[in-house]
Chain A
């Protein structure tokens, strides 16, 4: 289960001050289409799982107060971090700056390995998987840590999580 009302449980290593806004924006993006609980379908390299996502519906519609694209982008990050931990057991090391690291938004540790994760989100458009992989593989960090991508669409909701590394 992914409890967006408990940001500190999203992913180990993710500091609360960063977890809270990412969880909040995931709620804003999910609330455009769903009410809690929602089932998040996650597919990867030939596998498929679901995660129940729960949150407390805000007392007022937050959509008008949030930039649509930023809520989608940051909400997707919140979902991706939760999936990375629940499906792979990864732990956040740190966030990377967007302009510094085209193709790598987060650095993760798995025992004995490093991963760089590129995240993309969409509200109801096509999942930008090819674009995410193109950027991930072009990143200079992909030569030093195993590249991974997570793309999230809030309309269903669903996510695709893939990595070149061992599972």
Chain B
């Protein structure tokens, strides 16, 4: 798929995602799609191009809005390692901080409690 087509697809995906209720399951799904399209654009562009920078920030931002903080961290670490401009790298690092906060909160929520139940004969 060429860059023009990817740009059309991500435009449509963003238009759908931004119209959905924030933090709803449908919005998570829609931003997951946006994040994957942005990642494809990132792979098709140079980290120093404007479109490449937008896509790299977009892939991470959309992962956060898709409620996928681990993916956001992994993508950001990959992109920062590509040698982005300082202000773009700083923006990604701020997103990593946000993602790590969410991951810590998730870890705090993970509690296991025994549940009693009885199997009834069919």
Contacts and interface: CB of A to CB of B under 8 A. Distances in A.
Interface string A8-29: 0000011101100110000000
B35 to A, nearest CB: 10
Contacts of A167: none
A14 B61 CA distance: 22
Q: On chain A, which size bracket covers the interface?
A: 20 to 34
Contact of B34 (A97, A101, A140): A97
Q: On chain B, which size bracket covers the interface?
A: 20 to 34
A92 B88 contact: no
> Looking at chain A's contact residues, is the secondary structure mostly helix, strand, loop, or mixed?
mixed
> Looking at chain B's contact residues, is the secondary structure mostly helix, strand, loop, or mixed?
helix
Contacts of A140: 87-88, 91
Interface in B13-56: 14-15, 17-19, 34, 50-51, 53-54
A18 B15 CA distance: 6
Interface stretch (A36-44, A52-60, A123-131, A141-149): A141-149
B50 A145 contact: yes
Would you list the 10 A-B pairs with minimal beta carbon distance, nearest first?
A: A100-B61, A94-B7, A18-B15, A95-B11, A15-B8, A17-B12, A144-B50, A95-B14, A94-B11, A140-B87
